[in-house]
């Protein structure tokens, strides 16, 4: 079945370490997105990519980086510059965005 796979489901890291969250899709979607979810805050856009080798900053890109070397993959790196990295991270993909997103099941990152 087609879908989006995020791994790992839970991730623990020490403060000051960079960490990379994986997102893979086999839906043949052009666009991919990373959102951060905090309790009571809804979803906030970190980065998005409409095509391979191109991506744009979202509303809260500081302290994060991404790459889009393959259509299927859009990994997110949470760097040590991100002041409050503990959150639930959601990856999504779509054909154009206007058709709506398909979401992965998320990665819960805890930094201690």
Partner 1 sequence: AQSVTQPDIHITVSEGASLELRCNYSYGATPYLFWYVQSPGQGLQLLLKYFSGDTLVQGIKGFEAEFKRSQSSFNLRKPSVHWSDAAEYFCAVGAGNSGYSTLTFGKGTMLLVSP
Contact residues toward partner 1 (CB under 8 A) are: 4, 6, 31, 33, 35, 40-45, 48, 50, 58, 90, 92, 96-106, 108
Residue whose CB is less far from partner 1, 91 or 111: 91
- Residue 88 region by backbone torsions, left for phi larger than 0, else alpha for psi between -120 and 50, else beta: beta
Residue whose CB is less far from partner 1, 16 or 42: 42
- Cβ(42)–Cβ(35) under 8 Å? no
Look-up of token digits 């959102």: 35
> What's the min distance (Å) between Cβ of 51 and partner 1?
9
> What's the min distance (Å) between Cβ of 53 and partner 1?
16
Residue whose CB is less far from partner 1, 8 or 100: 100
**3-state DSSP call for residue 10?**
strand
CA end-to-end span of the chain: 36
> What's the min distance (Å) between Cβ of 16 and partner 1?
27
In this structure, are strands 107-111 and 87-94 parallel, antiparallel, or unpaired?
A: antiparallel
> What's the min distance (Å) between Cβ of 73 and partner 1?
17
């Amino acid at each position: 079945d087609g879908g989006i796979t995020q791994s790992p489901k839970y991730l623990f890291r020490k403060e000051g370490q960079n960490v990379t969250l994986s997102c893979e899709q086999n839906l043949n979607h052009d666009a991919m997105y990373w959102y951060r979810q905090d309790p009571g805050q809804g979803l906030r856009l970190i980065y998005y990519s409409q095509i391979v080798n191109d991506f744009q900053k979202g509303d809260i890109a500081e302290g994060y980086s991404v790459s889009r070397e393959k259509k299927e993959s859009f990994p997110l790196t949470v760097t040590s510059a991100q002041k409050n990295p503990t959150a639930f991270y959601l990856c999504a993909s779509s054909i154009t965005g206007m058709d709506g997103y398909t979401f992965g099941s998320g990665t819960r990152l805890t930094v201690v």
